[in-house]
Structures are given as C-alpha cells and as structure tokens.
Amino acid sequence: MTPPALPPTVAAHVPTGILIDGAWRPAASGRTFTVSDPGTTESLFDVADAGSDDALDALTAASNAFPEWRATAPRVRSELLRAVFETITARTEDIAALVTAEGGKPLAESRAEVAYGADYIRWYAEQAVRFEGLARRAPSGTNHQLVLRRAVGPALLITPWNFPIAMIARKVAPALAAGCSVVIKPAQLTPLTTAYVAEIIRAELADRGLPTGVINVLPSASARSISGPLLSDPRLRKLSFTGSTEVGSALLKASADTVLRTSMELGGNAPFLVFEDADIDAAVTGAVQAKMRNAGQTCVAANRFLVHASVAEEFTAALTVAFDKLVVGHGADEGVTVGPLIEEAAVDRVQEVVAEAVDGGARVRIGAERPDRAGYFYNPTVLDRVSPDLRVITEETFGPVAPVVTFGSEDEAVALANSTPFGLVAYAYTRDIGRVLRLAESVDTGMLGVNRGLVSDASAPFGGVKSSGLGREGGEAGIEEYLDSVYVAI
C-alpha cells in the first residue's frame, strides 16, 4: 500500500508489527488491520492485529523485565528518558507528519502535540531522580518509621486516538521513570505514531544494554482480546486508561477481581463561562482554542458556551466571525486550521446532534453542514438560543460545534456548569479575582482555565472528578500513579 500523505522518509520507518521484548513481529494469528487517513479516507498501512496470545507474551516480557528495570539506578532511567526526549524533538517534523496522516489534525497542531508530548518525557526524566519518601520518629517515641516508594509493577497503558503521541507520553514517561515496565494498547485508529515513538524507546534501551522487555506494544482491532486476558492476570499490577467514560467504567469493573491499581482519564463536557465583565476579544480567542483544537475532538474541548445574557450577542457575533475565518481542509495542506473528524461515524453523530438542536429551536449562526469534499469533514458551527437539555449540551459532542446558552447570574452559571456527570475542566472569562476564587471552590471539575483556552502542562496535574476519571497525569502527582508506599516500622 502506498501511504499518500506521508513523506517516504517517514513511511519507511514506521513499525507495523507488534513489539514484544525488543523485537517487532507479526501477530500470532497472522491477521492485520488497516489504518487510514481521515482527510482522504485512503489507506495508509496494514498493521499487525494483536490478540490474546500476543497480549500474554507481552505481559510475560514486561514481567520478566520488571525486576531489573525497577532495580536500575534512577539516574539511568532519567538519562534514558532525556535521550528519548531529545530524539523525539529532533524528529518533530517526521512525527508531526505521522500524527497528521493518521489523525487528521493540521500540521501546526501536530507539531504542537509533539512538543507537548515530548515535554512529559522531559518532565519525568527530571522527576525520575526526585521521588521522595519519609523518615521520622513515631509519635509514641518507641520506634522509627520509614516510608519508601517502590514501582507498582508491569502496567497496561490503553490510549485513545485523538492525541497519538501526547496520550502515550503522559503514561509511558512516569511509568518508566518510576521503574514500571509497560504493555501499550494504542487506539486502533491511530497506532502508527505510538509505534514510531516506542521504537525510539526500544532503540535507546537496547543501545544502553537495558532490558528490552520494558516496553511492549500491541496494536489491535479487538481491544477486548487484549484487556480481557491481561486484566485477569495477577502479574499485571497497574492499568492506566484514557478514553471514554463508558469503556473506562467497564475496565474498572474488570479490574475489580484482581484489585488492580487503576487511573482513568475519561470523557469531559467542559463549560466555557463568559461573564459580563469579561474581555470579549480575549474570550473569543480562548473559545476558538478551547473549541477547535483537533476539530473539537479533545477531552478538554469547550462543549458548552455559557454566556451572560448582557454580552451574549457580542460574544456570539464575534465567535461567528472568528469561525468564518477558519480554513477547513487536509491537515497537511498549507494554511489549513481545521482538519477532518476521525471517521464517518463521528460526522454522522455531529450531524445528528446539530439537527436535534435545530429541531429543538437552536439558531444556526454559521456552519451546520458538511463540506463537499472527500474525508470526514464538518464545518465549524455556532448555534445560539440553545436549550440546555439538548444532547449538544448534555453530551460530549467531539466535533467543531459551539452551542451558546445564556445565563443571568453567577449562581445560575455555576448550576449550569455543574449540571453534568462529567468534571474534567471548565473555562471562565472574568476580570473579578473574587469570582475566580469562588469558581475554583464551586465548579466541580479537576481543572479550571481562567482567561485561558489552554490549561494542560506537563508540570501540572491533569485529570478530572466525577465521571471524568480517577488519578492525575503530569506534575508531581503523575508519577504517584505508578508508585506504591512501603512503610517500614523499625
């Protein structure tokens, strides 16, 4: 198959097999599945389709490598991660081309994702030598207490398609820094970037004489044939999942039998609050960022625009003008600012929720249509007069649609913001610092962006409350997910 959107220099270096114990190989079944470019619908590569036998082989490799990796000096683990960071950064253009080819996002966004993903690897290279324990005299005075930190063990890392380098970097970097070995199950729709990055890590391990079973990768078209046998195997000690709340909840249930350590980065339904004292120009700039990154397909995408009635028309009109300037097209084409959705079903779903909103009385300010071109595109859309009980508000749209709902008071805004089972992130535009502090106390989310459309940072704890998840990625907290405490009474 000829990969049309990929420079041949990149295409020649994309592993399409399964990585187990330092070697890329075909699936035990011999099966493959096809990865396509959502901007053209054309096929890119056939990739090995791992099944349960491969999954168990990968876990065997990870558990065999774990004791040596856990005992490896933190400085050595740190230097390995630093070298991986340097290589990824040096190959930004190639990796960005791959991210765009399999995921569709515009090249500028793909480059930003590479930098953002690499930043987690750098951060955990720095943290690998800094995790701390405790030593103290017991309050009774009769003995001393030591608390040591120890790697949890082999970890299964399952990632979604929307950030094929960043999502895996946020897991693999703290896992390796802590001393865990890993089995990675990338998303079926975008396994190529993960394979490319895993090969960089494999090569660094091999060059340094470190155990190659530390990283194993299982692309698969049947996720359950991977998670099923691994979650019931007592050798697996940790699951870190990013994806939908529905799948996360099923995996939590499946993890109960072995009482597995789990972290869950799940769905969002972010409110974007614009108060009467907001800088409207800044709010519009932030709204475009928070809504349109990856064509609206991010867990932190602003899903509901809650705007004070007194500034609603000014904000909505300016947002409509800003959306009108966006350029929809193939992510590799010059000047494009909005790429395709990931697959046909995603476009169908967006069309459905928009049609339902319009039937329910919403007004289309711009968009609400599919452009006439190949690929899974949908035009940037602004809706106002939207009733808050419609699915475009109550569910994660995962597309380039901005529905505007008005409110009359701060209390009403907070009640609307909290009227969802999700709690990943909220955005608020206001000049009132007192209000900012009240919102930080009252809006039920794990993160709050204040006068900013972007919150995520490798050095800060990313994660949600309520149905948006358990645990944090990034910052000092991210490595805790891969460490146990061992209390020693002396």
Q: What is the set of active-site residues? A: 265, 299
Q: Shortest gap between Cβ of 75 and ligand NAD (angstroms)? A: 30
Instruction: Report CA torsion sign: 324, 330, 335, 339.
Output: positive
Stretch that binds ligand NAD, among 59-67, 126-134, 264-272, 329-337 (CB under 6 A): 264-272
Q: In this complex, which beta carbon is closest to ligand NAD, that of residue 56 or of residue 223?
A: 223
Which residue is associated with the tokens 């350590």?
A: 261
Q: Name 184's bridge partners.
A: 157, 217
Q: Shortest gap between Cβ of 264 and ligand NAD (angstroms)? A: 8
Helix (H), strand (E) at residue 55: helix 52-71
Q: What is the largest CA-CA distance in the chain?
A: 78
Residue partners of 30: CB distance under 8 A and separation at least 6: none
With beta carbons less than 8 A apart as the criterion, state whether 185 and 198 touch: no
Q: Shortest gap between Cβ of 209 and ligand NAD (angstroms)? A: 32
Told to check if 471 binds ligand NAD by CB under 6 A, we report no
Helix, strand, coil: what percent of the chain each, to 5? 40, 20, 40
Number of residues that bind ligand NAD (CB under 6 A): 27
Among 60, 110, 127, 159, binds ligand NAD (CB under 6 A): 159
Q: Shortest gap between Cβ of 185 and ligand NAD (angstroms)? A: 6
Told to check if 87 binds ligand NAD by CB under 6 A, we report no
Among 331, 340, 469, 475, binds ligand NAD (CB under 6 A): 469
Told to check if 339 binds ligand NAD by CB under 6 A, we report no
Q: In this complex, which beta carbon is closest to ligand NAD, that of residue 175 or of residue 299?
A: 299
Among 35, 58, 183, 266, binds ligand NAD (CB under 6 A): 266
Alpha helices in 221-338 (DSSP H): 223-231, 245-255, 280-292, 312-324
Q: Shortest gap between Cβ of 190 and ligand NAD (angstroms)? A: 9
Rounded Cα distance, 199 and 180, in Å: 18
Q: Shortest gap between Cβ of 404 and ligand NAD (angstroms)? A: 21
Stretch that binds ligand NAD, among 147-155, 203-211, 261-269, 288-296 (CB under 6 A): 261-269
CA proximity to 168, closest of 226, 204, 124 = 124
Residue partners of 48: CB distance under 8 A and separation at least 6: 16, 17, 18, 25, 26, 27, 31, 32, 219
Rounded Cα distance, 423 and 444, in Å: 6
Adjacency order of strands within the sheet including 134-137: 134-137, 144-151, 483-489
Q: Which amino acid is at 165?
A: I
Among 97, 112, 158, 306, binds ligand NAD (CB under 6 A): 158
Among 38, 164, 213, 267, binds ligand NAD (CB under 6 A): 267
Task: Give CA separation, 390 vs 233, 328, 419, 420, 425, in Å.
Answer: 42, 26, 12, 12, 20
Binding-site string for ligand NAD from residue 215 to residue 254, where x marks contact by CB under 6 A and - marks none: --------xx--x--------------xxx--x--xx---
Binding-site string for ligand NAD from residue 161 to residue 190, where x marks contact by CB under 6 A and - marks none: xx----x-----------------x-xx--
Q: Which amino acid is at 328?
A: V
Q: Shortest gap between Cβ of 178 and ligand NAD (angstroms)? A: 19
Told to check if 401 binds ligand NAD by CB under 6 A, we report no
With beta carbons less than 8 A apart as the criterion, state whether 375 and 417 touch: no
- In this structure, what token pair is assigned to residue 244? 């939908």
- In this structure, what token pair is assigned to residue 61? 């490799």
Among 81, 177, 424, 483, binds ligand NAD (CB under 6 A): 424
Closest CB to ligand NAD: residue number = 243
Q: In this complex, which beta carbon is closest to ligand NAD, that of residue 151 or of residue 239?
A: 239
Q: What is the DSSP letter of 164?
A: T
CA proximity to 462, closest of 451, 444, 448 = 448
Stretch that binds ligand NAD, among 99-107, 260-268, 354-362, 475-483 (CB under 6 A): 260-268
Contacts to ligand NAD by CB under 6 A: 158-162, 167, 185, 187-188, 223-224, 227, 242-244, 247, 250-251, 265-268, 299, 396, 424, 464, 469
